[in-house]
């Protein structure tokens, strides 16, 4: 996970901020501010929790939306439906791909 964070820092995505609510590196928060004019969520800060289990990167991280929003791919409990977080997950995916997937979901 530390390598993922370091690689992400080298290729950070505009409008995406990573913070660490705890001392560990397996739990983090992803804050996305969509800026595309076509996005319903433009200029809104949407927060997600990212929890890497012991099986990461062989199993996808657990992602939850912390905001109450109306989105066809986010249920009322914050569960995110994104193919790379389910059956499409591959161990080569990193924090960068997760953030890009979430950003595209909101834009």
Is 81 one of the catalytic residues?
Answer: yes
Of 53, 81, 86, 90, the active-site residue reads 81
The residues, ordered by sequence, that sit 6+ positions from 23 with a Cβ below 8 Å of its Cβ are none
The residues, ordered by sequence, that sit 6+ positions from 4 with a Cβ below 8 Å of its Cβ are 57, 94, 95, 96
Alpha carbon separation from 17 to 7, 45, 77, 105 (Å, rounded): 14, 10, 22, 16
Q: Which residues are catalytic?
A: 81
């Amino acid at each position: 996970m530390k390598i993922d964070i370091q690689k992400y820092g080298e290729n950070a995505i505009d409008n995406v901020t990573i913070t660490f609510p705890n001392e560990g590196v397996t739990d983090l928060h992803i804050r996305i501010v969509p800026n595309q004019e076509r996005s319903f969520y433009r200029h809104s800060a949407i927060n997600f929790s990212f929890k890497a289990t012991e099986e990461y990167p062989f199993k996808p991280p657990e992602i939850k939306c912390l905001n109450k929003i109306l989105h066809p791919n986010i249920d009322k409990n914050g569960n995110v439906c994104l193919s790379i977080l389910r059956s499409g997950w591959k161990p080569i995916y990193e924090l960068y791909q997760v953030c890009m997937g979430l950003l595209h979901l909101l834009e």
